[in-house]
Structure 1
Amino acid sequence: MNYYEEYRNGHLILPKALMAHFSVLFPSSDDFLVWLYFYDNRDIAPSEIAKKTGKTLKEVNQAITALQNFGSLKVTLLDLSGEVETIFDVSPVFQHLDELLGTTSDLAVENQSENKGQLDDLVSTFEAEMGVISPMQLDELRALLFEDHYELALVKLALREAVLNRKLSLKYIKAILRNWKNEGLTNVQAVENKQSDFQSSKAHTPQQDFYIPMDGPWS
């Protein structure tokens, strides 16, 4: 198992190799300090890092930008019910370290290739309906597949539902996926079974008699 896989499994102590390749993994020691806080807790707020390190919030945000540009940190913005949540991911450092040491496993290479194929497939499907996908939308699609772990076919089905309802937006599509997830519908078959049961129940609901009062002003 390589460094990246160890990190993803949640039991990685910072390796000595990281220090040996420090200059190619981080833009500066100050930026590394900010990265280290996200390594310990990816949900920590930049303002809290500023307080703990004695830096200004501006300096912390500048470090975050430097880490992003250097490829040491991935920042993803998620729109959750109208509120934007920021996700800080330090794993690119371990991927880069594995590349430097030549320890990327065959399984990791295979998974990366498979993931790229799925993402390319999804982007192609979305662009057929929505036009060219922006970089931010690309990150959102990537998050749906590889962070939220929605099946590719299920995301495509949510896109179809959005098209049918003429509400073609990623926000609406993510709301559909969340609703299905909350109902325990985690694959296409489960959704289609649910929809089939709903249509069947509608067809078998007895129609109520329409009553017209005899003493009304109808004659």
Structure 2
Amino acid sequence: MNKNTFLSWIEEGVISIPSFLFRYYKKIGLTDIECMVILHIYNFIEKGKEFPTIDEIAERMVLSTEHCSQTILTLIQRGYLEILKGQTEEGIYFEKYSLKPLWLKLINEHALHEQEDLQFQTNLEEGSLFTLFEQEFARALSPIECETLSMWIDNDHHSPALIKAALKEAVLSGKLNFRYIDRILFEWKKAGIKTVEQAQDQSRHFRNGQQKNRGQEKQKKTEAVPFYNWLES
């Protein structure tokens, strides 16, 4: 390979393309041809030419000038591309392409995709929650218990993780029933507890307080017992 040719390739540089363009362009309604036209416009902009001609774009593609022109017009009409007009400080009017509408569509699609993933994960967690309760109770849940569990999620907006923590707390306390779990969740909500870590801290503080109270009660009972000196009898 000619060294000068290789050097010119290096000096030509590379174009950095957001990967989510390739991931989502079909989902936001772009065809392969439209996406390729956008990539060429993006490359021109990156090289400092913000308003390449139709001929310059078509020359790089297998499209005719007419087809390329129609594709760009369609992209503008459908809100993927826009032409901005302005004036320099010297009073020279200019036009340039802007891909901001495209980026906004991609960002919205990405956010929607993340929301769908989150909802899917939430559904999985809620489904496993019913299974976990049945395992701990060693029986199938009654319709009322299933409704109560659903209300904790839908009405009280407790996260599946927090409900699992309340279930664990009931198991540790030896009071495995829905009324006790509901009370735990009520107290946590009243205290502004929203995470498992906060719930664990609250439980630890509660147990330490109980142990301290039991110690004080035991000490009081000991002090109340009359002392009898067997040596003086």
User: Same fold judged by TM-score > 0.5?
Assistant: no
Class of the TM-score when normalised by the shorter of the 2 chains: 0.3 to 0.5
| Max Rg structure | 2
Greater RCO, CA 8 A, separation 6+: 1
